[in-house]
Amino acid sequence: MSETKNTTLDAASERLLQYDNIEIAKGLLAEIEKKAGRKLTYYVKTFGCQMNARDSEKIEGILEMVGYEEAESENADFVLYNTCTVRENANNKVYGRLGNLLNMKKKNPYMKIALCGCMMQEPEVVEKIKSSYRKVNLIFGTHNIYKFAELLVHCLSSDKMLIDIWKDTDKIVENLPVKRKFSFKSGVNIMFGCNNFCSYCIVPYVRGRERSREPIEIIRECESLVKDGVTEIMLLGQNVNSYGKNLENPIRFSDLLREVNKIEGLKRIRFMTSHPKDLSDDLIAAMAECDKVCPHMHLPLQSGSDRLLKLMNRHYTKEQYLNLVEKLRNAMPNVAITTDIIVGFPGETEEDFLETMDVVRQVEYDNAFTFIYSKRTGTPAARMDDQVPEDVVKERFDRLLALVQENAAKKANLLTGSVAEVMVEQMNEQDESLVTGRLANNALVHFPGKAYMIGNLYQVQLEECKGFYYLGKVVNP
């Protein structure tokens, strides 16, 4: 086992160093391929959120540049799991798959196994892998992804387990290679980390403190994506509403949106995630005035009970949240509102839960992600007494889900018969005469079309609503 040095290079020199390492890795891979008598392949499996998906694209960009070919499954020569730890079951999934992977490694002498992402920032996890999964080749965390080329060089030169986990970083290294999953849409990180410390959440411990990218770098990246055929951009951050506050020249997220909105050729802008405590009137105004910004707000509620919101360290009340929803709907009558809700936070009573149900009933969300509270070691909530019994949580969860689904179906049905703008994303997977696209509110629509339509917007009549998707046809093609 060894560790690489946490170097003190500036970001620009760091970038050059990584490109040097890509060249070294290329040479090493070519030698191994000669020995093996075949091309070597990679497979990256991403767990968790959009941030992880974007990180995986960066890792894949380097693997491709080095010369690996993409494989369809884990039957590959370099397999990487980019992990999530936001809930316990995400961790269990990784351990289960890792066991199988190590069996495959016994049959392939060229196989390397790498693990990265949020789960690796937890010392207990790394200890467990060190003791029980000793054939893993590389473990790194969330703060040093930009050093992946360098880590890959170590990994290709030695069979020893390499562990490189940092507690934090203040460095943002720009312009490393990226392999996009979709030709026409892309995530763009605008900030990293989170400073909110919601009491149930492990993210601030594994993703570190909030760091914003310079607006000029963000705009440059968006422009170059658009030149490369991207028509939809999702601006990514754990709490985009506090973007730019800690920059040397502070800038508001709303003003960043206005700048991105000016990029010619870009058609749609989305963003994730907003924290209600930081949602300003100016952001609502910017959303309403920027024609490319989708009228969709993902606004995590977590709980409707003021008592629990306080214990969760969320810094808003039920009333303040409902006020925000009203402001959003006043500014954009067609805005789609979605949310995240946790059921079974320690000490949640039936009254607390009914407050949550009440908000769901009042807001009539277009969709909601509902989660059963998961105890994360090291967070304040994990130390709270009064963990709610499993059967009670399950019963509440089912009631909430039924209400959420009922609302979502009602909302979706309202659009039946109307004409709406759809971004075509791909050919339909079941029927090759159809294409599949998304409405501004993210709902799926299938309609007759051809491959050249991918990445473009069409006016589509939504003829039939099938619950969570629509069937339609292009109006005046």
Which residues of this protein are in contact with ligand 5AD, per CB under 6 A?
86-87, 200-201, 300, 302, 340, 342, 371, 373-374, 376
Q: Which residue has the tokens 């392939």?
A: 108
Of the listed pieces 191-199, 326-334, 356-364, 398-406, which binds ligand SF4 according to CB under 6 A?
Answer: 191-199
Q: CB under 5 to 8 A by kind: which of ligand 5AD, ligand SF4, none does 376 bind?
A: ligand 5AD
- For 242, residues 6+ apart whose C-beta sits below 8 A from its C-beta are 191, 195, 210, 253, 275, 278
Closest CB 374 distance from ligand 5AD, rounded Å: 4
- Closer Cβ to ligand 5AD, 95 or 371, answer by number: 371
Closest CB 344 distance from ligand 5AD, rounded Å: 8
Q: Does residue number 201 form part of the binding site for ligand SF4 (CB under 6 A)?
A: yes
Give the three-class secondary structure for 425.
Answer: strand
Say how far apart CA 171 and CA 149 lie, in whole Å.
Answer: 16
Closest CB 313 distance from ligand SF4, rounded Å: 8
Q: Does residue number 238 form part of the binding site for ligand SF4 (CB under 6 A)?
A: yes
Q: Does residue number 197 form part of the binding site for ligand SF4 (CB under 6 A)?
A: yes
Q: Does residue number 446 form part of the binding site for ligand SF4 (CB under 6 A)?
A: no
Q: CB under 5 to 8 A by kind: which of ligand 5AD, ligand SF4, none does 371 bind?
A: ligand 5AD
Q: CB under 5 to 8 A by kind: which of ligand SF4, ligand 5AD, none does 204 bind?
A: ligand SF4
Q: DSSP secondary-structure letter at 2?
A: B
Q: DSSP secondary-structure letter at 182?
A: S
Q: Does residue number 198 form part of the binding site for ligand SF4 (CB under 6 A)?
A: yes
Say how far apart CA 15 and CA 10 lie, in whole Å.
Answer: 9
And the tokens for 24?
């070294």
Q: Does residue number 196 form part of the binding site for ligand SF4 (CB under 6 A)?
A: yes
Kindly tell me the sign of the dihedral angle through the C-alpha atoms of 161, 166, 171, 174.
positive
Closest CB 339 distance from ligand 5AD, rounded Å: 8
Per CB under 6 A, the list member of 154, 185, 213, 275 interacting with ligand SF4 is 275
Number of CB atoms found within 10 A of residue 423's CB: 22
Per CB under 6 A, the list member of 18, 169, 239, 274 interacting with ligand SF4 is 239
Interface size with ligand SF4, residues (CB under 6 A): 10
Give the three-class secondary structure for 462.
Answer: strand
Task: Report the amino acid identity of residue 256.
Answer: L
Q: Does residue number 118 form part of the binding site for ligand SF4 (CB under 6 A)?
A: no
- Closer Cβ to ligand 5AD, 191 or 201, answer by number: 201
- Closer Cβ to ligand 5AD, 109 or 378, answer by number: 378
Q: How far apart, in Å, do the first and last CA atoms of the chain sit?
A: 61
* CA 345 from centre of chain: 23
> H-type helices in 7-147, by residue range?
11-36, 50-66, 88-107, 123-132
Of the listed pieces 196-204, 208-216, 380-388, 419-427, which binds ligand SF4 according to CB under 6 A?
Answer: 196-204
With CA atoms as reference, report the closest residue to 412 among 445, 434, 437: 445
Distance (Å) of CA 300 to CA 53, 188, 359, 369: 20, 21, 12, 9
Closest CB 183 distance from ligand SF4, rounded Å: 30
Of the listed pieces 201-209, 388-396, 417-425, 468-476, which binds ligand SF4 according to CB under 6 A?
Answer: 201-209
Say how far apart CA 253 and CA 245 lie, in whole Å.
Answer: 9
> H-type helices in 281-389, by residue range?
281-289, 306-311, 318-331, 350-363
Give the three-class secondary structure for 292.
Answer: coil
Closest CB 145 distance from ligand 5AD, rounded Å: 20
Q: Does residue number 204 form part of the binding site for ligand SF4 (CB under 6 A)?
A: yes
Q: CB under 5 to 8 A by kind: which of ligand 5AD, ligand SF4, none does 239 bind?
A: ligand SF4
With CA atoms as reference, report the closest residue to 302 among 248, 373, 247: 373
Say how far apart CA 235 and CA 190 lie, in whole Å.
Answer: 6
In sequence order, what E strands does 330-389 have?
A: 336-343, 367-372
Closest CB 303 distance from ligand 5AD, rounded Å: 10
With CA atoms as reference, report the closest residue to 382 among 198, 208, 238, 209: 198
Q: CB under 5 to 8 A by kind: which of ligand SF4, ligand 5AD, none does 374 bind?
A: ligand 5AD
Closest CB 203 distance from ligand SF4, rounded Å: 4
- Closer Cβ to ligand 5AD, 68 or 192, answer by number: 192
- Closer Cβ to ligand 5AD, 304 or 455, answer by number: 304
- Closer Cβ to ligand SF4, 345 or 470, answer by number: 345
Task: Report the amino acid identity of residue 370.
Answer: T
Closest CB 146 distance from ligand 5AD, rounded Å: 24
Enumerate binding residues for ligand SF4 (CB under 6 A).
194, 196-198, 201, 203-204, 238-239, 275
